[in-house]
Structure 1
Amino acid sequence: MEAYLKTIGYEGRRDVTPNTLKALQAAHARTIPLENLGFMCGEKVLHCPLAVCRRIVLGGRGGASPELNGAFCWLLQQLGFQAHLVACELYDHQSGSFLPEGSHIAVLVALGRKRYLTDVSCPTFSKEPMVIVPHKVQTDAVGSRHRFRRHDEMTWSFQKMFYTGFEGPLFEDCDVAPDPNPPWTTVYRLSLFPCVLEDFKHLTTVFYQNVKSPKGVKLFSSQKEPLIMRHTVRGKKFLLGKRFCTVVYKEGVARKTVTDIDTSEELADVIWREFGIRMFDEKQLMAKIDLLFERKVRRSSI
């Protein structure tokens, strides 16, 4: 536990309070990235929280969504929080339906009479833990607005009011002002029943081998471009393929900058400098990336 706290750079209070939970979520989300580099090198989803912790602490790595929240839940439990994992169903905006249960996993924390949801791996989750109450708009440190919708006592939906729609210019340099009347968008549906990471061993493995982007491309496979995302104090930064992007939220505007990466050596440098990841088999990863982009060039020339 001490090594884990040192890895995420947390030196604050350890009392079991909402402020400590908020500080722990912020520290974890800013230091441990969501990434698919392991999948590109043949790794499997880990379903043992201690194994994930060892990879994060000793290997200097991030992980897939269930791995990060599984490890974070373990850390909260070691600090004395009443925390457990809850199964979520991501909402697919292309098909207008929910993906299977276990497509995402979040952390539920009970503090007194209140229940909080916290999530260190979802790119669109609040920068702060959210109190589970119906329809109350909760604003985080960067002005993002979120709320819960109750289906029944144990089933809720997490919704967000986005700065811009999903169809926005992902990799264009731009300033995106919020829609004056933005709709509430469902991110995922969750069940409040407790679960453990091992409960979803088969389901998450199948899901991460087959989940596809809106364009039909598998997101987590050896044939996919590298994907890394990490939160920052005022926004987030991510790498997709050979394009590095930062997003900063300020005064109601999402300011986005993009940098193209020309070589595998530069890509390895960005992965280390911006995300703190040094792959155990960097040559294998770079070879896969080079092959992917060679295929892209050949397809575009046909």
Structure 2
Amino acid sequence: MSGIYIATSSEFVLDLAKRCKSGRMEVREYLARIGYEGPTQPSLENLKAIHERHILSVPFGSLSIHCGERIVPEVPLLYRKIVEQRRGGFCYELNGLFSWLLEELGYRLSLLSGQVRNPLTGRFGPPFDHLVLLVEFGDGRRWLCDVGFGNAFRKPLPLEAGRAERQDNGVFALHEEGGSWELCRTPPGGSEEATLYKFTLEGRRREDFRPMCDYHQTSPSSIFFCKSFCSLHLPGGMITYMGKRLIATEYRPEGEAKITTELTEEQIPHILKERFGITLRNKLIPKDQDIVPPSTDY
């Protein structure tokens, strides 16, 4: 087996779970992975700082799918990949593991089912298309957390309909109608608001997301299956690898400035290591195919 993250049996998962209980998974190692050295007691200030450090440290993307690794959303496996192997992942991995960290730190939270809006077709994906977190404080305040979505907010958003919040990478607002919430973003220097995804407040279990985790590894209607990519937030911008391209985005008052560099296949492993801190154990097969729109608008 070339990468320990590739789970092939239930016995392997159980073995890692036992090692987790014996201290294999450690909060301090997780915090070191994201470069967080501040206080950890539950508070809004600390939550914002930890959330932002996570966004600026752990890449979001689909690389595992394109180097022959099956993604199994078991927390011990996610810890091994993201913390010990210093890799990234998609929402079921990043928010799945982040929820464990927050629980260990004493936060009360719920897992929510989101549906991502395709910016080209305007259609929403199926239920459980996206995993989102909601943290609730003792005074009843609730905050949306998401460290597993490409260009979403960097700091948690208060669950308040119609309230716009400006952050480094745009203006974010939540809208609610009939129990369905939508997250919208206006890019820096832009004037048009676009919906990123919608969600409801019904609490879910981790295992509820398993079928859609498999779907995104195999469906031609999923960006994760159709494109090999990863992205990382930076102070003042973002960097994205996709297919055989590197896209550097700088946030300016007048708008987003993008510089695209074409890559050879030989350059890609070096770019991933130097710009994203990722070293892959298996060979990556670059992919950048068109996404097939789903037949149904959910």
Tell me the percent identity. 24
Q: What is the deviation of 1:29?
A: 0.9
Q: Does 1:147 align with 2:173?
A: yes
Does the 8 Å contact 1:49/1:197 carry over to 2?
Answer: no
Provide the C-alpha distance between the structure 2 equivalents of 1:93 and 1:56, rounded to a whole number of angstroms: 29
CA distance in structure 2 between the partners assigned to 1:143 and 1:242 by the alignment: 25
Q: Which residue matches 1:267? A: 268
Gaps of 5+ in 1: 164-177, 213-217, 296-302
- State which of 203, 207, 210 in structure 1 corresponds to 2:216: 207
The CA deviation at 1:143 is: 6.1
| Residue of structure 2 in register with 1:46 after alignment | 72
1:160 aligns with 2:185: yes
Partner of 1:174: none
Contact 1:45-1:64 at 8 Å conserved across structures:
no
Deviation at 1:40, TM superposition (A): 1.1
Match of 2:249 among 224, 247, 264: 247
Counterpart of 1:231? 233
Instruction: Return the alpha-carbon distance in structure 2 between the equivalents of residues 267 and 277 of structure 1.
Output: 11
**Which residue is 1:279 aligned to?**
280
- The 1-side partners of 2:122 and 2:246 are apart by 29
For residue 168 of structure 1, what is the aligned residue in structure 2? Answer: none
Structure 2 match to 1:193: 202
C-alpha contact 2:65 2:217 (8 A) present in aligned 1 = no
Residues 224-273 of structure 1, C-alpha deviations (whole Å, 9 max, x = no match): 45201111122211101221121121334322222222341x21111001
Provide the secondary structure at the position in 2 that maps to 1:46.
coil
TM-score (norm 1): 0.81
Deviations 1:274-302 (A, max 9, x none): 11111112xx32xx34xx69x9xxxxxxx
Q: Residues 143, 96 of structure 1: CA spacing in aligned structure 2 closer, same or farther, 3 A cutoff?
A: closer
* SS in structure 2 at match of 1:270: helix
Secondary structure of 2:208's counterpart equals helix
TM-score normalised by L of structure 2:
0.82
Does 2:89 correspond to 1:87? Answer: no
Structure 2 gap segments, 5+ residues each: 1-26, 290-298
Partner in structure 2 of residue 219 of structure 1: 223
Q: 1:93 Cα deviation (Å)?
A: 3.5
- Residue 143 to residue 69, structure 1, CA distance change in 2 (3 Å): closer
RMSD: 2.0
Q: State which of 121, 145, 152 in structure 2 corresponds to 1:118.
A: 145
